[in-house]
A and B are shown apart, each in its own frame.
Chain A
Amino acid sequence: MLGLLYKEFIISKRSLIMSLIIYLFSIAVVCLTLCISLFAANGETPEDWAVSVTMMSGILTLILFGSINSYYNNLFISDEKRVWANFSISLPTSVKGQVKAKYIYLFLINSIALFITSIPDAVIAYISGEFSGAGSLIGQMIFMFLIFKYSIEIPFTLRFGTKAGSYIMTAGYVVLSFGLIIYGLFGDISFFMENEFMDVFVKTIEFLTSDTASIIGFGIFSWVVLILYIVSYKISCKVYKKGVETYEQ
C-alpha cells in the first residue's frame, strides 16, 4: 500500500510543485500589496485593515487548496487503462489497496495544505501587524468541504471513469446552482442585499466561530464528513472492479 501511495506522489509530483510555486507567488503578491498599502498610508493602517488582512489570508488559503485539488482528475486518468487496472488489482494489495491509496493520498495532501496555511498567516501578521488566523480557520472549512465532495465524487469517478464521473458531478453542481438561483429569487436574501461584500464575509466568519448553533452544527458536520469518507471508500472498493471493465484497452 505504501508503494501505491508513493506512486500517487510520483505521478502528481509536477502538479504539486506547480501548486506550491503558484502559492508562493500569491503570498509574495499579497505581501507586496500589504507593504504598498502601508507605505501609501505612511505606515498608518486604514479603517478596515483587519478585515482586509483576514480576506487576504482567506484568499491565499483558497488559492492553495484550489491549485492542489485542481489536479484531481490526473490522479485517476493515469490508472484508466484496462491492462494496468487489471494488473494492479491482481497485486497482493488488491482492489482495497488501490482504492485506499487514492483516498489516503487526497486526505494527506489536503492535511499538508492545511498545515501550510499557518505559514502565510504568520508572514501576513508580521507585515500587517494583524493576526487573524483566518487562513487556518478557512482552511479547516475548505478541508471539510473537500472531503465531503470527494466522498461523493470518488465512487462515481471509479465506477464510470473520470469523464463520465465529472459529467455526473457537473450535473450535480448544475442542480445545486438551480436550487440557489430559485432560493435567490424567492427566499430571504436581505442579509446579502443589506451588507457589502466585505461585511458579509466578516459576519459569516463571526457567525461560524461564535454562534452556538453554528459551532454545534460544525462539530457534528466534521464527524459526519469523516464517517462519510470511510463509507465512500467502502463503496468505491465495491464498484471499482465494475469500473475497470469499462476502461479502454
Chain B
Amino acid sequence: MSSDKKLTLKRIIIFILIAFIPLIIIVAVVNAFFDEPIYVNETPEALATSQLLGFIGMMTPTIANIITRIITKEGFKNSYLKINLKGNIKYYVLSVVVPLIYVIATMCISFMIYSKEFTLSEMVDFSNIPITIGGTLLSLSAIFYFFIPFFGEEFGWRAYLTPKLTELMPEPVAVFVSGIIWGLWHAPLTCVGHNFSVDYPFFPFLGILMMCIMCASMSSFLTLLTKRTGSVFPAALAHGANNQLTGVIISFLATEKFLERFSAENNITVIEILPIVIVGIISYIILIMDYMKKKKEA
C-alpha cells in the first residue's frame, strides 16, 4: 500500500473512531438513567433527553471531520462548504422534492397495507387536507431554518468519509461502504428504540439491518447531490427533508383511529422502505454511469 493510501486509511480510522465512540458512550450512559429504552420512554425527562441526544449525536460526524483534519494536519481543502448555487438550483430543488415524493409514496404504501382492514375514509381525514398542506409547508421551510443538525451529519459522512473512501476503492463501492458505516453508526440509537421502537422480531439486529439498507440507499442519493453540486448543503437539505417529513404528513392526514392502529403496529415493514430503496438504486445507477464515463475518459 502506498504511503498516500496509508495516510487516507489512518484518517478514515480516526474519523470513524471519533464519530462512533462518543455516541456509543453517551447513549449507554444516558440510557442507564432510565428504566426502559429512552426512545420508548414517554416521561418528560426522556422526551427531552431523546431530543437532545438526537441533536448532539448528529453533530458528532462534523466534530469527527474537524478533529481528524486538525490531527492529521490535512487542512480544510475540499471541505464542500461552498454553496455553489449557480447552475445547481435544480439539485437544490431535487434535494427537497425527491424526499417529499418518496415520503408521500411511503405513506400511500402504508395505506395500501391496511386497506383490507380500513376503508379509505376510515384512514384519511379529508377535512385535514388544508392543515396537512400548512404543516408540510412549515416542515419543509424548517429544514432551512433548522439545518444545523442535518449539516452536522452530512459534513461528516458525505463531505469527508465518502471522498476519503473513494481514494481507496472504486467510487460506487465507496458510496455503498460509507452508507453501511453510516447505518452502523445509528446502531446505538436503534438499540434504544430510535426509528423502529423496540417491539419487533430479532430486536435490535433487524432494526440495525434495516437502518443499514436505508442508509446505503440514502447514501447514494445524498452522494449524488454532493458530487454534482460540489457542495454539502443540498445533501443536508435532503437529509433534513427526509427527517422532517417522515411521519409529519401521515400524522396530519390520517384519522385518529388509523393512527392508533398504525402506531400500535411495530414499524418494521420492508415494503414501506421500498420508495427510498428505489431512489437509492436510481441514484446508484447514475453514480456508476458517471464513474464509467470518467474511467473511459481517463
A residues apposed to B, CB below 8 Å: 1-2, 111-112, 114-115, 118-119, 121-122, 124-126, 128-131, 133, 140, 143-144, 212, 215-220, 222-223, 225-226
Contacts and interface: CB of A to CB of B under 8 A. Distances in A.
Interface of B: 44-45, 47-49, 51-52, 55, 81-82, 130-131, 133-138, 140-142, 144-149
Contact of A222 (B49, B81, B142): B142
Contact of A129 (B45, B130, B149): B45
Nearest to A127: B45
A208 to B, nearest CB: 11
A219 B141 CA distance: 8
Given A114-B148, A226-B141, 5 more contacts: A115-B146, A118-B52, A133-B51, A216-B130, A219-B138
A219 B252 CA distance: 14
B148 A219 contact: no
Nearest to B137: A219
A114 B146 contact: yes
B153 to A, nearest CB: 13
Instruction: Describe B's contact surface by its main secondary structure.
Output: helix
Contacts of A2: 81-82
A93 to B, nearest CB: 12
A212 B142 contact: no
Contacts of A128: 44
B110 to A, nearest CB: 23
A143 B145 contact: yes
A241 B163 CA distance: 40
A54 to B, nearest CB: 12
A130 B44 contact: yes
B88 to A, nearest CB: 15
30 contacts: A2-B82, A111-B146, A114-B146, A114-B148, A115-B55, A115-B146, A118-B51, A119-B52, A121-B51, A122-B49, A125-B44, A125-B48, A125-B49, A126-B45, A128-B44, A130-B44, A131-B45, A140-B146, A212-B131, A212-B134, A215-B131, A216-B130, A217-B134, A219-B135, A219-B136, A219-B138, A219-B141, A220-B137, A226-B141, A226-B144
